[in-house]
Structure formats: structure tokens, C-alpha cells
Chains A and B, each alone.
Chain A
Amino acid sequence: MLKYLVRRILISAPVLLMITIIIFGLTEIAPGDVVDYFRSPDLEMTAEAEAALRTRFGLDQPAAVRYFKWLGNVARGDFGYRFTDGEPVAVVIGRRLNASLLLMGTALAIGVLVGVPLGVFIGQRQYSFWDFSLTGFSFLGISTPSFVTGIVALLVFAINLRWFPAGGMRPVDSEATLGSTIHHLLLPSIVLSLNFIATFMRYTRFSMLEVVRLDYVNTARAKGLSPTAVTWRHIVPNAILPVITVIGLSVPTLVVGAVFTETIFSWPGMGSLYLDAVRGRDVPLLMGMNLVIALFVLGANILTDVAYAVVDPRIRYD
């Protein structure tokens, strides 16, 4: 396993490098740069001022020089400063990453804790009332965009009922506490979790239906094991493998964030930051964010493989 992990990590290094080259290339061919962003169409800017700005951001240098300079700095742990407001990239990513991990992690956890058991539940009750009802819900959950559920949730629970705040991560006129954080976190994370719940429930149900008809399950039942024991000792561990893949594929969303939900709930996470970076042609921030996201995606893939081995003793990578 250790040898496999080392090999995977070594293979990931050139992949990571290629990703940075591609992203940098894309920022180069995208129309406009940060000076075009700063240049208000409503106001005048002299040619002298424009040239000074380009020099300040190093945009007067060839693309290759700028890329290798960035790479060299990153190798030394220096992610540089945001073009648009001068904040250190590592600081802003760290801050936003925490916010996204909290929001998306909570949503994902709710998704797993609710979606998987519900999938197991209806997987054993095919074509029942519960199966039809929850399958209907899952279709709704998968197909309804989060900005719709987000707006509806805000209208109902923040404006009409005033049970939850209408956005933000903490109160602005009093100290942040664990309770206030949970209070701010609940509504956006529930909104985001609806899609996770629906997805995990669907996959778990499908996988359960596949496994529940297999011979070894019938054998277990014939041996006189209780239904609970059959379900949790024989069906679920085998049915859960494809679900782990789906959960693993969802892990990168923890760092990517959720643009619409973060925007609607004014949750300062990675999704809205990425949008800001693209809008402002903020190359250092874009590069830094993509590097972090790529690291998470590659890491999540490796972790999924490890999880397979842990859940299924037949799988060996050595």
C-alpha cells in the first residue's frame, strides 16, 4: 500500500505541473487583464497611468517569464499578492478555504448521514410508498438548482419566519460564538445538502438493489441471520463501494465551494472567491486557487482508492 501511495504521489507531481501550465495558458488567452478590470469604462485613464499599472503587475514581461517567476515563488512557499487588492494570496485562500470546508463539509456530512441511510432504507423497500416518495424527492433535489432552493429558503426562513440570518458567517454586532456560527451555518448547509442527500440516496438505493438479490445474501438469510444483521453485515458493506466513489468524487467540492449558494448567503468561501478572481483577471489568485483545488482533487482520488481497500479486503494495491 505504501509503495502504491508513493507511486501515485509521484505520478501526481507532473500532472499538477501540467495543470498549472494549462491554467496559466488559459489566463493568457482570456481577453483582458487586471488593468482592463481596473480601468473603469465610465472614467478616463491616461496612457501613462495604464502603462504604470501594467509595469507594477509585471504584465510588461513575457508570459513565460511570469510563469516561471510564479512557479519559483510557489516552490519557496510564496503565492504572491492579489492583483486586485494587494492581499497575500495564501492568506486569502486560507481564510476562504476554512469557510468553504466548514460549509461544504457540513453539507457533505449531512448528505452522507441522511442520504446513505435513506438509500439503504428504500433499497430494501422497492416500489413501496417510501420508495416512490423519497425517489421523487431525490429527483427534485438533484434537479433543483441551489440558487432556487437558497432564495426560497431565505424568503421563508430568514425574511418571513426570521429563524435564521439572511447570510454571513457570524453576527456583525456581537461576538461570534459556536452557537452563532451554527446558526449562520445551518440554512446554507441544509440547502447545499439537499443535492448531496438526493444523490447519495439514489446511488445507495441502486447499489442496494443490485446486492440484495445476490446469492450470498440469500445464503445469509437461509442461515437464519436476522434481517438487521443481513443488511448491515452483508448487504451494506458491499453496496457501499460505488457510493464511496461518488462521495470521493464529491470531496473536491469541499474546496471548490458553491458559487451560487455562497453568493446568495454572502458566505465568503472559495466559490465566490474564484468568481472574483476570474472577474478581476487576478492571475496570482487564480493560479493559487487552482493549485490548491488540484491538490485536493488528486488527494481525494488517492484517498478514495485507500477507502476502497479499507472497505473491501479483496482489494490490494501492492
Chain B
Amino acid sequence: MWNRRLTLTILLALLLTIVPVHAQDAGGGGTLIGAFDVGPGGAPKAIPFMDTAGRTWLSKIWSPLISWNADMSALEPQLATEWSSNEDSTVWTFKLREGVLWHDGETFDADDVVFSLNLALNPDAATNFPGFSSLSRESVASITAVDPYTVEIVLNSPNPRLPFFMIFAWVLPEHALKDLNPADYQTTDWFFTNPIGTGPFMHDEYVADQFWALVPNPNYFRGAPKLDRLINRYFADETSALLALESGEINFTYVSGDVALRLQEEGTYQIYDGPSGVTNYFIFNLRNPVFQDVRVRQAFLYAIDRKAIAETVLKGTATVVPCISAFPSMWPDASELNDYAYDPAKASELLQEAGYDTSASFELMTYYNNQFHLDAMAAQQAFLAAVGINIVPVAQDVPTYNSYFYTGEGWDISYRGVGVNVGNFPFSFYEPGGQPTTDGAPLAGQLFPELQALIDAARIESDADAYLGLLQDICKFQNENALEGYMWTAVRFGAGTSNLQDFYWFPAAGGGPYEDHAELWSVTE
């Protein structure tokens, strides 16, 4: 009898510990729990100027001057309402939004912007990641507050694309951080104990490695958010986040293309998508004479049925690209482009003409370790083998890959990705001293003066249309010369529960930031 009682007591105690996993807040817009930092575009710890990604979360607390719009096709005013430059793009004026309050009630003004931009450029504080802090310090002559709502930036050299650099220029409160030694910026716990921003949500609770909870900012400049609470839950990987989504514990997460398709078929989730902004391609090491022959490079493109891989292996989640640019607006008219349609006979012919040694074997180096790209590389390997090009995919982790890739030595071909958009064209990948870099390496710009001339012209072109025209000319040149083995650009997906209202999120390159109107988000019961 006693044993039974004991057993029942233990069972009862265990049952009592099983509380509802996800108790929704009553009233208001509810509590939204998301895996903001899972998948590409996420960063496990979000500190302005310190992370290469994670900006979909950062933008909930802090605001930049400018962000992308929702589909990352144009710029969207945030704390800056308008911006303009002089004729040669050396003096830029940013008009700031008036009436914005910090989370602690202090007034936001131009001094905060000057403080933040100087902090971003301070080598002791920031980490030189993309954006304003990646500008050469020598290129900025001064940053001044003309009046409480006007900031002027004077550059030592023209930069027509400066507004794009402002996308990552988070504005921090001078009144709260002015006494912080810039060298202590990276080790301070201020960002997790008492962060103050101008974003739609305010800090509530941070539990390291587990979650970060925010509450609405009633003074947000686009209006008070509807949600009662917004929580970023941390996961070690995509699978565990997906399991949490399917168990009903969280409202959204990043999902890979195949999972997005499965969830879409199930019909119980909302699927969000957006451009990765990343072009996947083969980069040929032009120091190897084999790849200096345009016929060999073109043979790679003819040999691989890129469209078939994109449609079958990548399940239609990727689009074939004609050049390094990921967005069609940066491509010239299709009639000016070679589509390199699958033609193994043509590939064999080109290889024969070039005297290509079919007994040669090259390692295809990559830092991609996910199944999406590994499957694609296996397909590429099979297509190339059919015409006598032998490649062996070798996947490594990012530090290992980077440790030799940028030396320009120890590799012949690499399958990789590069973020390319109108405001962020990787010019330096084609220039002497650029990437991959070693002095005297025969890089594309050196081998192709015509390309270098286009790059030089694009760098200083201040007219938007003319600039786009130059990018299209570069695309045409790349396509014609098969400078690289251009493959595809993928779509990225997010999956959310069906009770999310006015919600928009996708794992943008680097996490954006893009305008997602988080103040409108809500969760129904």
C-alpha cells in the first residue's frame, strides 16, 4: 500500500511540474516568440557595430538612419528622413526625424548621430564590419551637427553610395554612453542590462544563451507596437528551432527551402520569403594559367545544367544568374547576355580547343556545409565529370577556408557566395590589392583593363541611373568572359504560425535591416 501511495505521490509531483509550454498573454497584441537569430542573417549576440548579422533583432531596439525597404530593393528613411549630397558626393547632409525619444525619455538629436558615427569609426570600439564602420577612416574628414536635426558628413574622396553605408549605422544614445571608454565597448554589459534605443521595443529581460525579451516602446516614432511582448529565443541550430516551431513553442523561425515547401504543403504555417542577396558562383584562381583561358571558363558554364539543379536539387528556390549581381535590376537586357544553356557538346568542344588536360583534377573548395549546397556541388561534380572536368568538393569551416582563400594560394576553384546589391558591389574582388589578395596576383582587374575601367567609372559615378548602367556593363563583361562560374541566387524562407498578424520576417543577408513594421505585428489567440 505504502509503495502505491509513494508511486502515486511521485507521479502527481511529476505531473504538477508539467506546466503549459506556451502560455499566450491575454489581451493586446499578445506575445510573439521568434527565433530571430537562427539561420543565415542571424547573430547569436546582437551588439551594434559588433555583429556581421543579427540586424532583424537589433532593429527592434535600435534604429539606423536608413534601412532597406521590405524587399531590400530601395532605401527607407528611419531616423534620417532625407539625405542629399553636393555634386561630387563629398559633402552629405542628413536631415533627422524630429520628436523622437530614447527609451528613457531623453530627446534624440544630431549629437547622438555624431557620437554614434564617430564611435563606429573608432578602431578601439567597433569591429570594422560592413557599413559605416567599414569606411576607411581616412576617407571621412568630419562629421558635424549643423543644427539639432541636421548632420553633415564631409568626405575626403567622393562616395556616391554613402547612404547605403548608413544602413548599418546604428544610432546610440550619447547621454548614456559618452562616459564609456571606447576600448570597453565590446566588453560592457550595458547592451544586455540597460540598453537604450529608439526602436519599437524596449529591453525587458535578457537571459544569456536562452532568450531576450522586449516590451513595446510607447513613444516609437511610427506608433506604439501592438504586441505585449517580443521575445528572441536562442537555438543552437535550425533543427532545434524547427522542432520548437512544430511543438508550438515559438511563432516563427528560419527554414530551409525543402522545409518551407513541406510546411507550405501542410498548410498550417505562413511562409515568408525574400532575396538572399547572395550570388553563388565558382571563383577561378586566375593565377593558374588553365583558368586564364576563357574557353575553359566558358566550358564550366556550358557543362553544368544550372537551371536543372536550381529546379530539382534546389527545388526551385534558386534563380540562375548571368553574372555576379544577384538582382535583375543590375543585369542588362537578356538579349545582351549569353545564357550558357546546358550544352555538354559545346563544353567538350571548347575544352578540346583549349587543349584542356582531362586527366587533371581540381579540389572545389567551399565553406558551405549545409545540405542545400552540398547537394548542389554533388550535381555540379557529376555534370562536369561528364565532359572530362574532374572536381572534388571539399567543405571546410569558415576560419579554415578564409585562412588560405585570401592568400590566393593553395586553391584553384572555389564554390562560394558573395553579397551583391546596388549599394554594395564587391569592386575590390576584381582589383589589385583586393580580394583574394597577394601582391602581384594576376587578378581580374589586372588581366582585364576594360573591366578595371568600368569599375573605376562606377566607383565615382554619382548619377543613380548612370551608375546602374555601369553595373549592367560590368555584368555584361563578366557574362561574356565567363569571368567566374555564375550559378544562382537563392530565396530564403521564414515560417510562422497561422496566428501571426501583419507579420513579416525573412532571414535577409546579414539580417537587413529592412523595414518590417514591427509596430504592427500581433498574435491572435
Given A42-B417, A44-B134, A52-B128, A162 and B398 touching (CB < 8 A)? no
B240 in the interface (beta carbon within 8 A)? yes
A163 in the interface (beta carbon within 8 A)? yes
- A41–B405 CB distance below 8 A: yes
- A164–B134 CB distance below 8 A: no
Among B128, B207, B236, B401, point to the contact of A266 (Cβ < 8 A): B236
Q: Residue of A at shortest CB range from B135? A: A46
Chain A contacts to B: CB under 8 angstroms: 30-34, 36-49, 52-53, 56, 81, 85-88, 92, 95-96, 99, 151, 154-155, 158-159, 162-174, 179-180, 182-183, 186, 262-266, 268, 272, 276, 279-281
Among A86, A88, A162, A179, point to the contact of B247 (Cβ < 8 A): A162
Residues of A within 8 A of B411 (CB): none
Given contacts A44-B435, A46-B428, 16 further A-B contacts (CB under 8 A): A31-B400, A33-B403, A42-B418, A44-B130, A44-B426, A48-B137, A85-B45, A86-B186, A88-B187, A167-B243, A171-B23, A173-B25, A266-B236, A279-B397, A279-B398, A280-B399
B231 in the interface (beta carbon within 8 A)? yes
Residues of A within 8 A of B231 (CB): 172-173
B506 to chain A, nearest CB (A): 17
Question: With A and B bound together, what is the CA distance between A59 and B234 in angstroms?
Answer: 30
* Residue in B123, B398, B400, B416 whose Cβ sees the most chain A Cβ within 10 Å: B398
| Segment with Cβ contacts to A, from B209-217, B305-313, B336-344, B451-459 | B209-217
- A173–B45 CB distance below 8 A: no
Chain B contacts to A: CB under 8 angstroms: 14, 16-19, 21-23, 25, 31, 33, 44-45, 47, 50, 52, 123, 127-130, 134, 136-137, 186-187, 207-211, 213, 229, 231, 233-237, 239-241, 243-244, 246-249, 278, 367, 397-406, 416-419, 424, 426, 428-429, 433, 435, 437, 509-510
- B237–A263 CB distance below 8 A: yes
16 A/B residue pairs, CB under 8 Å, sorted by A:
A31-B400, A36-B400, A43-B130, A44-B429, A44-B435, A46-B136, A88-B187, A96-B209, A167-B235, A167-B244, A167-B249, A172-B231, A263-B236, A266-B244, A279-B398, A281-B399
- A49–B210 CB distance below 8 A: no
- A46–B134 CB distance below 8 A: yes
Among B18, B186, B236, B399, point to the contact of A183 (Cβ < 8 A): B18
- A272–B236 CB distance below 8 A: yes
Residues of A within 8 A of B404 (CB): 31
Question: With A and B bound together, what is the CA distance between A183 and B19 in angstroms?
Answer: 8
- B403–A32 CB distance below 8 A: yes
Question: With A and B bound together, what is the CA distance between A44 and B419 in angstroms?
Answer: 9
- A166–B210 CB distance below 8 A: no
Q: Residue of B at shortest CB range from A40? A: B52
- B23–A52 CB distance below 8 A: no
- A31–B240 CB distance below 8 A: no
B175 to chain A, nearest CB (A): 23
User: Which 10 A-B residue pairs are closest in the complex by CB-CB distance?
Assistant: A32-B399, A49-B128, A268-B209, A86-B186, A32-B403, A36-B402, A36-B399, A179-B17, A166-B247, A263-B236
A72 to chain B, nearest CB (A): 19
Q: Residue of A at shortest CB range from B416? A: A41
- A171–B19 CB distance below 8 A: yes
Question: With A and B bound together, what is the CA distance between A183 and B136 in angstroms?
Answer: 52
- A172–B210 CB distance below 8 A: yes
Q: Residue of B at shortest CB range from A280? A: B399
Given A32-B399, A265-B240, A42 and B278 touching (CB < 8 A)? yes
Residues of B within 8 A of A154 (CB): 243, 247
- A52–B240 CB distance below 8 A: no
B254 to chain A, nearest CB (A): 15
Residues of B within 8 A of A95 (CB): 208-209
- A41–B402 CB distance below 8 A: yes
Given A38-B127, A183-B17, A266 and B52 touching (CB < 8 A)? no
Residues of B within 8 A of A87 (CB): 45, 187, 208
Q: Residue of B at shortest CB range from A80? A: B187
Question: With A and B bound together, what is the CA distance between A104 and B42 in angstroms?
Answer: 29
- B399–A33 CB distance below 8 A: yes
Question: With A and B bound together, what is the CA distance between A95 and B239 in angstroms?
Answer: 24
- B134–A49 CB distance below 8 A: yes
Question: With A and B bound together, what is the CA distance between A264 and B137 in angstroms?
Answer: 43
- A169–B210 CB distance below 8 A: yes
Given A36-B398, A44-B435, A266-B240, A85 and B213 touching (CB < 8 A)? no
B9 to chain A, nearest CB (A): 15
A47 to chain B, nearest CB (A): 7
Given A36-B402, A167-B243, A173-B229, A44 and B210 touching (CB < 8 A)? no
Residues of A within 8 A of B52 (CB): 38, 40, 43
Question: With A and B bound together, what is the CA distance between A38 and B406 in angstroms?
Answer: 14
Residues of B within 8 A of A92 (CB): 208
Q: Residue of A at shortest CB range from B248? A: A162
B304 to chain A, nearest CB (A): 21
Question: With A and B bound together, what is the CA distance between A180 and B237 in angstroms?
Answer: 23
A113 to chain B, nearest CB (A): 13
Question: With A and B bound together, what is the CA distance between A13 and B426 in angstroms?
Answer: 52
Residues of B within 8 A of A81 (CB): 186-187
Q: Residue of A at shortest CB range from B426? A: A44
- B50–A86 CB distance below 8 A: yes
Q: Residue of A at shortest CB range from B131? A: A43
Question: With A and B bound together, what is the CA distance between A99 and B246 in angstroms?
Answer: 25
Among A86, A163, A164, A168, point to the contact of B210 (Cβ < 8 A): A168
- B247–A53 CB distance below 8 A: no
B2 to chain A, nearest CB (A): 19
A255 to chain B, nearest CB (A): 17
Question: With A and B bound together, what is the CA distance between A265 and B349 in angstroms?
Answer: 54
Question: With A and B bound together, what is the CA distance between A223 and B509 in angstroms?
Answer: 79
Residues of A within 8 A of B17 (CB): 179-180, 182-183, 186
Question: With A and B bound together, what is the CA distance between A47 and B439 in angstroms?
Answer: 12
Residues of A within 8 A of B130 (CB): 40, 43-44
Question: With A and B bound together, what is the CA distance between A154 and B246 in angstroms?
Answer: 10
Question: With A and B bound together, what is the CA distance between A171 and B248 in angstroms?
Answer: 13
Residues of A within 8 A of B18 (CB): 163-164, 183
Among B22, B136, B403, point to the contact of A48 (Cβ < 8 A): B136
B517 to chain A, nearest CB (A): 23
Residues of B within 8 A of A33 (CB): 399, 403
B368 to chain A, nearest CB (A): 9
* Residue in B127, B209, B403, B428 whose Cβ sees the most chain A Cβ within 10 Å: B209
Q: Residue of A at shortest CB range from B417? A: A42
Question: With A and B bound together, what is the CA distance between A173 and B210 in angstroms?
Answer: 12
Residues of B within 8 A of A155 (CB): 243
Q: Residue of A at shortest CB range from B232? A: A172
Q: Residue of A at shortest CB range from B44? A: A85
Question: With A and B bound together, what is the CA distance between A22 and B217 in angstroms?
Answer: 51
Question: With A and B bound together, what is the CA distance between A40 and B236 in angstroms?
Answer: 20
Given A44-B429, A86-B186, A170 and B399 touching (CB < 8 A)? no
Residues of A within 8 A of B129 (CB): 38, 43
* Residue in B210, B416, B417, B419 whose Cβ sees the most chain A Cβ within 10 Å: B210
